[in-house]
Structures are given as structure tokens and as C-alpha cells.
Amino acid sequence: MATSTTPNRGKWNSKLGFILAAAGSAVGLGNIWRFPTVMAENGGAAFLFIYALLVFIIGYPVMVAELSMGRRAEKNPVGTFKSLSSNKIFTLAGFWCVICGIAILSFYIIVAGWTISYFFEQIFHYLGFEGAAAFVADTDNGWLNAIVAVIFMAATISINIAGISQGIERAVRLLMPMLVVIILILIVYVMFQPGAGEGLREYLVPDFSAINTDLILAAMGQAFFSLSLGMGALITYGSYLSKRENIPEAAAYVTVFDVGIAFLAGMLVMPTIYMAQAQGLVVFDEDGSLLAGAALIFQVLPELFHEMGGLVGLIFGATFFFLLSIAALTSSISLLEVPTSYVIDEHKVSRKKAAIVVGSVVTFISLFIAFDTSLIGPIDQIFSDIGLPLGGFLVCIFLAYFWKTQNAKLEVRQGFENIDDHWFWPVWVVFIKYICPILIALILGSTIYGIFR
Ligand code: PHE
């Protein structure tokens, strides 16, 4: 690990290492499980359109904000909010980040556990062990959910203990590109299946009349969730970032990569939903709403692999679920890193002890979800659709009016020397001071108004 100004804190080994780690945090179940599911529930292409818009007008500016705050403070979110301004009330925003991290991780490991179960489902199905295949495919089995979630959490904790560059950078280097390749091949295969065309149309031809406040809120939540924003994951990752790196550029890579993968995942999953329907699997209710909810992709994707059949189906199916679990792992690492780094920095506990204690607390909470997976929907909605944008709003207000954009500029200038002549800076300042906080407040405000009306 390279030296750093604050002792005992890791650093990313290289620029690529950082981008891969941040992209690893961003790309996960959010892209392949959450995005297609939320989109299918919210009018397909119209959702995609609003989502893409919000990623660039809110997500990207907030990402630059989080990374620069974290790199400046070299601390966890609580310490960052505490140290960058004399106004201590924003320390609460740091705690909000920690709470959102814990809540999201508690259902994230359940869904991630399903990726492990379905890896085995593919193998058992190939071997003809239909009983075993059906057993591991049962997402309502509380004990099974609990066991795979514990396994997944153990993997997450052990990588967090291994430390920043050793654990995280290494895990993403090879496996992320593999995931992209396999998705591309699957898309080509799916396009030739009956029903796929209808799914593709649903995905790409927007029906703008479907846009309403629910859709916009869901799209904003998805943008924050998928880019790992609003809960300090990128404040924390920014705290390990070298002063030589160009933050706006690194953030641009991460954003484009993340949206690219989500887009590809949609190209795969939407047509597969319709293909599965053409095959007789019931995925839609009579009123056209999706039946399967949280477990949707775990019902339709295995169908796709079974359809491919034989050894080919096994290879694609098992590899896909394996890579998906790795993608989930590189995200859960960053979710766990937020509360863990808080405990390490603020309570002077060793990394090992901190990761184990925090991980155990989260696992305990997740056991309730394991036995009642219908909790995933509401917890996800409260913390991802409302909690994360609220965190992003606080980041904007804090940076713009407490830490101040002049100070942010001093930080971002490191690694971006021609910042004074570049159009980026004045534009970004307008977004962080006005456009992002106002838009987030409007969207959250109209939702809360809708609830209490
Ligand atoms: N972005 C991750 C995903 O898409 C989830 C995540 C959310 C990670 C928030 C960190 C912080 O799966």
C-alpha cells in the first residue's frame, strides 16, 4: 500500500484500480436485479429515459461531490461531515449514511445469497437432480435464505479485512469484463427467442404517458442506488483516492460504465421476461403488473438457461450466477465499508474487529428478512428511493453552503490542473448549488405530499 497522509489508511494502488473498485461498487445487483425489475414495474422505456436523464443531471454531479469530500477529509462519512465544516449539525448526515448502508446491506445480502443458490440450481438441474434444484430455487425458504446470506456476508467481511487495495482491486480486475462479455452473448441468444421482440419494444419504445411521480421517484432512487450514491460509499472510497487522480474524469468513467451495464442488463432481462411468458411462465398479473416482485429475475433467467439446454445451458447459467455473485460482492464490500470505516476511524477499533462486529449486526438484521422476503420491497423503497436521495441532497447542501465550492475547487484541482480554464467547473457548481438540490427536493417533496394528501 502506498503511503498516505493519515496513518493506517489504505490507498488504491493505481488509477485503474480505483476506477475498477468504484465501478465494482456501482455495478452489482442494482444493475442486473433491481434495474430491470423496477423498470418493468414502471412502464419500461419511459422509466429508462427518466433514469438516464437523472443519472447525468443528478447522479454524476453528486458523485464528483462525494469523491472530493472524501478525498479532502480522508475519512469515513461521519468524520468527513464533521471535519469539513465547523457546523456540527451535518454530522447527522454522516450518521444517516451509516444507517442507510446498514439497512441496504441487510437485504442486499439476501438477494446476493440467491445468486449463490441459483448457481447450484443450474448445476443440479443439469445433473437431473430436480428435487435438489427445486429446493435451492425456493426463495421463500427462510433457513436457506439465512444460510446463503451468512455465507455471502462471510465473504464480504473477509475481503474487507484484507484491506483496500489487496482485497477489492484484485477481485474486480478480471471478473467485471467477463460479466460484460457473457451478458453480450446472452443478449444475442435471447434476441432469437419467441417473445423477445415484444420485450425489446417494451424496453426501447417509450410511452411517455406512463410518466408520473411514482415513476420519477423510482428512477431517482434507482440512479442513486446503482451509482452507490447518497450513503457515503463514494465518500469512503474517495478517502482512499490519490491526489494525482482527476476526480471528474474518474467519476465520468464510473457513471458511463454503470449505466452501460444497466442498459445491457435491461436488453437481456426485458426480452427474457417476455420470452418466459411466451414459454408459459406466469410473470404478469391480469392487470399487466408484474407478479414476481423481488424474485423476478431469479425466475425468468434460469428459464432462459434451461431453454438453452444441456451443457451450454449449464455453462452459461452457472457462469452467469457466479459472476453476478461476484458483482454483488464488490458492491456489498463498499456497503460494509461505510459503517466499518466509521467504527475504525471514530472508535479506534482494528479493521478486523470492526468488520466482524458490523457484519454480524447486519447479518442479524437480515435474518428477519430471510424469513419474510416481502420485507425487501418496503425496506428497499424507504432506504433506496427516499433515504439515498435525501443523503445526496444533504451532500449538495453541505458542499455548496457549508464546506463551500471554493474549497471543493482546491481539492478537485489536484489531478485536474487546468480546472480554471475548463467549462466543467462553473457548470458543476451550478448543478451542485441549485439544480441537484432543487430537483431532489421537488421529487422527494411531491412524494411526501402524495403520501399525506
Ligand atoms: N450500487 C450497488 C449496486 O448497484 C449497490 C450499492 C448501493 C452499493 C449503495 C453501495 C452503496 O448493486
Does the Cβ of 265 fall within 6 Å of ligand 1? Answer: no
Tens of pLDDT, residues 327-356: 999 899 999 999 999 999 889 899 999 999
Based on the number of CB atoms within 10 Å of its own CB, is 143 exposed (0-12), middle (13-18) or buried (19 or more)? exposed
Q: Under a CB-based contact definition with an 8 Å cutoff, are residues 109 and 362 in contact?
A: yes
Position 291 scores a pLDDT of 65
Q: Are 122 and 302 in contact (CB under 8 A)?
A: yes
Q: Cα 153 to the chain's mean position, in Å?
A: 16
Give 105 Cα–ligand 1 centroid separation in angstroms: 9
User: Do 235 and 72 contact (CB within 8 A), yes or no?
Assistant: no
Q: What are the backbone angles phi and psi of residue 22, rounded to the nearest 5°?
A: -70, -40
pLDDT in tens, 64-115: 999 999 999 999 999 999 999 988 899 999 999 999 999 999 999 999 999 9
Per residue in 30-42, pLDDT (tens digit) is 999 999 989 888 8
Q: Rounded to whole angstroms, how far apart are CA atoms 63 and 59? A: 6
Residue 304 Cα to ligand 1 midpoint, Å, equals 26
Cβ–ligand 1 distance for 226 under 6 Å, the answer yes
- Helix 15-26 with 310-347: angle, nearest 10 deg: 110
Q: For residue 147, what is its C-alpha cell?
A: 444460510
**pLDDT recorded at residue 278:** 83
Burial grade of 128 (CB within 10 A; 0-12, 13-18, 19 or more): exposed
Ligand 1 centre and the CA of 407: distance in Å?
28
CA–CA dist 415, 15 (Å, integer): 11
Q: Is 103 in the pocket of ligand 1 (CB under 6 A)?
A: no
In the prediction, which pLDDT does 42 show? 87
Pocket lining: 334 vs ligand 1, CB cutoff 6 Å: yes
Whether 332 lines ligand 1, by a CB cut-off of 6 Å, is: no
Residues of the chain with pLDDT below 70 are: 1-9, 164-168, 171, 287-293
Q: What angle do CA 290, 294, 297 make, to 5 degrees?
A: 75
Domains of the chain (ranges, CATH numbers): 15-452 (1.10.4160)
Distance of CA 30 from the midpoint of ligand 1 (Å):
6
Its pTM surpasses 0.75 = yes
- At 382 the pLDDT is 94
pLDDT value, residue 277: 84
Nearest ligand 1 atom, CA 335: 10
The secondary structure of 415-452 as a DSSP string is T-GGGGG-THHHHHHHIIIIIHHHHHHHHHHHHHHHHH
- By three-state DSSP, how is residue 290 classified? strand
